[in-house]
Structure 1
C-alpha cells in the first residue's frame, strides 16, 4: 500500500517517514484537513507496523473518533486501506461497513475483521446493496448463508447462489431451489451450482426453460421422457401454491434485530416518516411495522392487524398520524400488498382522497378502527 496520503494540492503527508513532531502537530490541530491527514497517517503507520494488542483498543477509539469527523472521500480512502487489514479496529470497520455503499463495498467484500454476527447485523440494518455485497463475500460461512436464505430477499439470494465459495448446507440449497419457483433469477446460478444434487436437479428441471434444461441434462442423468409428461402440471401447481411475496413474519431473529434497530433510532430521535417509506420500498415489512408502531405510539399488534385488514383505511390513518404524506400512500400500499400476500384488501372508500387530516385526528381514527377490528372489540 502506498505511503502517500494526498489530501490537498498544498500538502502531502508521508506516514512511514513523517517525524513524530509532525504527527503531534497534526494531533493538536483542530482543522478538518489536519484531522484527515492525521487519520490517514496513523492508518499507514499501522499498515507498516501493526499495533500490539495492549494499544489496539486505545488506537481503535482514536481512529473511530477521527473517522467520524472526516468527509466521505476520506472515509472511502480509509475503507480501501482497511479492507484487508487484520489489525483494523472492529468498531471502525463496522462503522465503515454501514456507511454508504461506495465506502462500504471494499470492507464488505474483503475485511477479515468482520465476524458472522457483524455480517448478520448488516443484513438487517443496511440497504439491499449492502446485503448483496455480503452475499458475494468470499468463503461466506454457513451461518450467514442461512441468514440470507431465511430473509428471502430475491436479489441477495441470487448473489448467494452465484457465490461458488460460500458455504451452503444441503438444506440451504434445497430452499434456494424451492425459492427459484417464484424467483427466475435464481435458476441459472443454481443450474451451475456445485452443491446441486441429482434430486434437486430434477426438481429444478421442472420449472426452467429449454436452455437451462440442456445445462442440467449435461451435468445430471435426467430421464427427460419421464419428466416431460408431468412438467407442465408441476409448474402450474408450483406457481399456484407458491406465495407471490414474503409476508410479515413474527418471532424471528431478524424481527428482533429490526425491533432493536427501530428502538435505537427512535431513542436517538432519528426515526423519520421517510425511513418507513424506504423500508417498504426495500421490502423490509417488519421494519416498517415496528417503525410505524414506534412513531405513532401504536402497538405492533394494531399495525399487524391493519396490514391484514380487508380495507387499507386503518393503515392509511396510521401513516397519516406519523406524517407520511398522502401523495405517496397509494404507491406505498401497492408495494405493501406485493410483499404481504395482497393485504390489506381493497374494500372500502379511498379515504386518502378526501383531503388532508391532522395527525391527532388520524391517530384517533386509527385507534377506533383498530379497536373495532380486534377480537371482541378489545
Structure 2
C-alpha cells in the first residue's frame, strides 16, 4: 500500500524548517524532501511530487552550494529524476550545474540550448563533454561558444555534427589551426569538406614555405600535392566509421572479448556501427551484409543470424526487443512481433541457420547473380 506524505515526514516540521533561514535548517529540509523523492517505497503521487518540486525550486536560491551539489547527486542517482528541477539546477553556478549538464539523461535539447545561449563558457564546456550531444545542441555551441569549447566538441566522438555545423567548423579552422587535426580525424566529416581542408591547408603551407625559403615552386607543388593526396586517401580509407568499428570488433574477437554481453551493450548504448560490426565478425560476414540484416524492417534474417552465431535465447530476445524499441519511430512493430520472432528462433536448428550463413558469406555480386538465375528459372 502506497504511503501518504504524512506517513513519511512530519509536515509541520517541514514548514518550520522552511521558515528557518539557517543553513542547518535548509540542509535538513532539503534532505527531508529528497528522501521523499528517491526511495521507491514511498511512491509519491503526481500531486505530491509537483508540490515538492515547487518547494525545492523556491528554496534552491537560498541553499548553500554544498547542499545544492548534494541535491544534484541525489537526483542523478535516484529513480525519480525530476526533469523540471534538473532544468533549474542546470542553470545554477557551474559548481552545481556541471554534474547535471554532463550526466543528466532527462534534460531536453531545448533545456541545453537555453543554457548554451544564456550561461557562461564553463556551462557550454560541460555540455560539449556530454556522452550524447545532438545536432541541434552542437549547432548552438558552434554558433555561441569560444574556441576551447568548440575544440572539445569536435573531439567528442559522441557529438552529432550536422552538415551545416561541419561547414562552419571547416571555415573556422582557417582561423583556428587547432580545429584542423580533430576535424580531419572525425569519421563523419563529409569527404568533400575533407578535400577542401586538405587543399587549402596545403596551399597555406606552400605560401609559408615560398615566403621563407628559396625553393623551386614546381618542386614544392609536386611534394605538397603528393602529401595532400595521401592524406585524402587515408581519410577515405581509415576514417570511415564502419571500418573503425570492424577493426575494433576484430581486435576484441582476437582477445575473446567480443562476447554476447558486449554486442548487446553496443546496441543498448546506440553504438549501432559497433553492434553491426560485432555481429559481422562473429558471423564472418562483411559489414554491408550485417548492416542489411540489422536494418531490414523484418526480423527473419536477424533471427537466423542470432541462431547461427549461437546466441543464447534470453540474449537473443533482449537484442530483438532493443531493436524493436529503436525501430518504433520508423518501422513500428505489432506487440506480438517479438513473440513470433522468438517462436521462430526456438524452431530453428543451428545447422540450418549456419547453412544460410554460408550463403551470406559469398561475395555480394555472386549472391545477386545466384538470386537472378533462380528468379529466371522460376
Shorter chain as denominator, the TM-score bin is: 0.3 to 0.5
Higher RCO (CA 8 Å, separation ≥ 6 residues) = 1
In the superposition, the TM-score normalised over structure 1's length comes to 0.48
Between Structure 1 and Structure 2, whose CA radius of gyration is higher?
Answer: 2
